[in-house]
């Protein structure tokens, strides 16, 4: 049993432009792993789990979604600066698609949506996570594969020497 001073894995879950399906998969995984993980993991930032979230140093940041605005770019760079590992989660984060569909619009369609991009300060081109920051691991798929997610969490628990 862990004592109160035992280090727990500091984990953040962050969402950018996407449908948040990997977030749903994440909560489904918790149905099976919550009792075990709550003794070993602090989910310091995960808006799906709690209203009060902390910004700060993280062992692992899971990042879901593509990057579609300057504000999102800055936020992602900040998360990268705070996290030892950064894991891109799901196809939108890993390759940009399907959230980046507008990158492939023809010129006429691009012109038609131009005022929306301007109004909401969107980037001309939607980016994958690795086009903005260094990524340490990727969980591809749309949405992510829960088994691969559990494997990355277990790898992190081992790597950061979190007691069982």
d(CA 127, CA 62): 17
CB of 98 to ligand SF4, least distance (A): 5
| 142 belongs to the binding site for ligand SF4 (CB under 6 A) | yes
**Which span sits near ligand SF4 by CB under 6 A: 41-49, 74-82, 84-92, 147-155?**
84-92
Select from 10, 68, 72, 99 the one that contacts ligand SF4 (CB under 6 A).
99
63 contacts 138 by C-beta, under 8 angstroms? no
Q: Tally DSSP H helices, then E strands, for the chain.
A: 5, 7
Q: Which residue has the tokens 């790898």?
A: 155
Sheet strands side by side (includes 41-46): 41-46, 9-15, 58-64, 83-89, 137-139
Is 21 among the residues that bind ligand SF4 (CB under 6 A)? yes
Residue 22 found at the interface with ligand SF4 (CB under 6 A): yes
Please report whether residue 90 would count as binding ligand SF4 according to CB under 6 A.
Answer: yes
**Which DSSP category does 117 fall into?**
H
Contact residues for ligand SF4, defined by CB under 6 A:
18-19, 21-22, 64-65, 90-92, 98-99, 142-143
């Amino acid at each position: 049993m862990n004592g109160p001073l035992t280090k727990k894995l500091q984990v953040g879950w962050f969402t950018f432009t996407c449908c948040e399906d990997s977030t749903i998969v994440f909560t489904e995984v918790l149905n099976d792993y919550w009792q075990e993980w709550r003794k070993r993991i602090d989910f310091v930032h995960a808006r799906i789990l709690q209203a009060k979230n902390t910004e700060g140093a993280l062992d692992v940041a899971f990042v879901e979604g593509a990057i579609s605005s300057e504000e999102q770019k800055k936020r992602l760079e900040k998360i990268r600066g705070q996290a030892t590992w950064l894991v891109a989660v799901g196809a939108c984060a890993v390759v940009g698609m399907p959230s980046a569909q507008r990158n492939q619009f023809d010129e006429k369609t691009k012109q038609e949506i131009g005022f929306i991009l301007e109004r909401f300060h969107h980037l001309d081109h939607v980016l994958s996570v690795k086009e903005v920051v260094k990524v340490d691991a990727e969980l591809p798929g749309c949405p992510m594969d829960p088994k691969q997610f559990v494997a990355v969490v277990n790898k992190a628990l081992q790597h950061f020497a979190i007691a069982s």
